[in-house]
Amino acid sequence: MNTDAFAARLAADRTRVDACLAHLFDARQASAVRLESAMRHGLLVGGKRLRPVLVYLAGRALGAADEALDAPAAAVELIHAYSLVHDDLPAMDDDDLRRGQPTVHRAYDEATAILAGDALQTLAFEVLARAAHPRLPALMLTLAVAAGRDGMVGGQALDLAAVGGHPDVEALATMHAHKTGALIRAAIRMGALTAVDEHDPRVVALDRYAEALGLAFQIHDDVLDVTGDTQTLGKISGADAARDKPTYPALLGLDGARARAHELIEEALAALDPLGEAGLPLAELARYMIERDH
C-alpha cells in the first residue's frame, strides 16, 4: 500500500468511527443536557482515533467486515475518551488543554467532567452489548480487563505513584504497558476476535505486535512532549517535565528513547510475519505511529 493510499485509508476509518460515535448522540431526548454536551466535548472534539483504526486494521487482516468492527472500534474509543477526561482532572494531571480545546473540566466544571467520564465508560459496554456478536463475552472481557485495575487504571495509579520518583527503565515499561499499552493491545485483540476465535495462531502474533507497538507509541509520546510545541500537540508541551514525571527521554536521553522506539517497531513488524500481505496495513500504521509529529 503506497503512502497516499494508506493516508486515505486512515482518513476513511476515522470518518467511519466518527460517524458511529456521533450517531450515539443523534435524535436523543437527553434528560441531562449539560452532561450530554460534556460527553460530546470529551469524545467528538478532535482526536487521532488510532485505537479504533487498529480495531479496523486488525479485524480486516483476519477477514472481518467493517460493519462487524464498528461496535468494538467505537467502544475502545469511548474508553479512551473517558480516560482522557479523568486524566485531565485537577486531582490527576490537571491539564487545561486537550486536542487543542479546553479540557472538559475547564469547559464545564469538575463535577460534570467526572460524570461525563463515567458515562462514556459505561456507554462503551452498552455499545458492545447491543452489537450481539457471537464472541461478545470475549470482546467484553478483553475491554474490561484492559480498562481496569490490571490495565489502564492500574497503570494510571502507577503513574501517579511515580511522580517525583526515580523508577528504572523496566519499571517505567511496566507502568506504560498498563497505562497506554493495555488499551492498544485490547483494540488489536478485539479486532482480531471479531473475525476469529482466540485459538487462531494469528491472534497470538497480533498480541506480540500489539505489545511492542504499545510501548513504542508511549516512548514516542514522551519524545514529543520534549520536542513538540503546544499548538502542534494540541496539549501543553513539556508537561511531563514540569510535573517531575519519569519519562523515557529522562532515563535514556532523546536519542536513546528514539532508538528504543525504533527497536520496538522492528519487533512489531517481525511479529506480523504469519499474516503475510494481510498484515501490511498494520505494518504501515506501526511506522506512522512513531513518525507522527503530534
Percentage of the residues of the chain whose pLDDT score is greater than 70 = 93
- Which residue, 157, 161, 137, is CA-closest to 148? 157
Angstrom distance (rounded) from CA 59 to CA 65: 8
Q: Give 241's pLDDT tier (boundaries 50, 70, 90).
A: low
pTM of the model: 0.92
| Residue 164: predicted pLDDT | 81
Residue 207 has pLDDT above 70, yes or no: yes
Task: Count CB-CB contacts under 10 A for residue 217.
Answer: 23
Q: Give 221's pLDDT tier (boundaries 50, 70, 90).
A: confident
Each residue's pLDDT tens digit, 71-128: 999 999 999 999 999 999 999 989 999 988 999 999 999 999 999 999 999 999 999 9
Q: What is the 3-state secondary structure (H, E, C) of the chain?
A: CCHHHHHHHHHHHHHHHHHHHHHCCCCCCCCCHHHHHHHHHHHHCCCCCHHHHHHHHHHHHCCCCHHHHHHHHHHHHHHHHHHHHHHCCCCCCCCCEECCEECHHHHCCHHHHHHHHHHHHHHHHHHHHHHCCCCHHHHHHHHHHHHCCCCHHHHHHHHHHHCCCCCCHHHHHHHHHHHCHHHHHHHHHHHHHHHCCCCCHHHHHHHHHHHHHHHHHHHHHHHHHHHCCHHHHCCCCCHHHHCCCCCHHHHHHHHHHHHHHHHHHHHHHHHCHHHHHHHHHHHHHHHHHHHCCC
Residue 154 has pLDDT above 80, yes or no: yes
| Residue 165: predicted pLDDT | 78
Max mean pLDDT range (15-24, 168-177, 285-294):
15-24
Residue 274 has pLDDT above 80, yes or no: yes
Mean pLDDT of the chain: 91
Task: Count CB-CB contacts under 10 A for residue 151.
Answer: 23
Percentage of the residues of the chain whose pLDDT score is greater than 90 = 71
| Residue 265: predicted pLDDT | 96
Q: Give 246's pLDDT tier (boundaries 50, 70, 90).
A: confident
Among the listed ranges 40-49, 122-131, 195-204, 241-250, which one has the minimum average pLDDT value? Answer: 241-250
Look up cell 458515562; give the residue.
119
Angstrom distance (rounded) from CA 158 to CA 81: 20
For the residues 32-46, what does the mean pLDDT come to? 94
